[in-house]
């Protein structure tokens, strides 16, 4: 891993299209501004990981199990 020291307002570039700016820091956290093209999704890793986990659980669903729980599901409009 490359370690770079940056001051507030300073920027790191990644490739030609991604920039990371240190906006603010203090009290145990850092605010980072990321500029990236639309086709490069930028997300908090824990959110990304939670979605991957949810997808993995979803594909483990079997057809009859879903039929069984349907009656307990509350939807706004059951067309």
Partner 1 sequence: MSNLTRITENITIQSPDFGELEVSPGNIFYLENGLLGFENLNNFVLITDDDIAPFKWLMSIEEPSIIFPLVSPFLIMSDYKVGKEIDLEKNVLFVVVTLNDGKGNVSANLKAPVILNSDDLTGEQRILITDKYNVNHIINNTK
C-beta of residue 8 within 8 angstroms of C-beta of residue 24:
yes
**47: contact with partner 1 by CB under 8 A:** yes
3-state secondary structure (DSSP) of residue 17: coil
**54: contact with partner 1 by CB under 8 A:** yes
**Residue 8 vs 43, nearer CB to partner 1:** 43
3-state secondary structure (DSSP) of residue 40: coil
**Residue 12 vs 40, nearer CB to partner 1:** 40
**1: contact with partner 1 by CB under 8 A:** no
C-beta of residue 31 within 8 angstroms of C-beta of residue 24:
yes
Q: Which residues bind partner 1 (CB under 8 A)?
A: 41, 43, 47-48, 50-63, 65-67, 69-70, 72-79
């Amino acid at each position: 891993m490359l370690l770079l020291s940056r001051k507030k307002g300073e920027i790191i570039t990644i490739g030609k299209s991604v920039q990371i700016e240190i906006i603010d820091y203090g009290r145990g956290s850092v605010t980072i501004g990321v500029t990236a093209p639309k086709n490069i999704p930028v997300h908090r890793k824990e959110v990304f990981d939670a979605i991957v986990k949810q997808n993995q659980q979803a594909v483990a669903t079997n057809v009859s199990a879903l039929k069984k729980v349907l009656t307990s599901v509350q939807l706004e409009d059951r067309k």
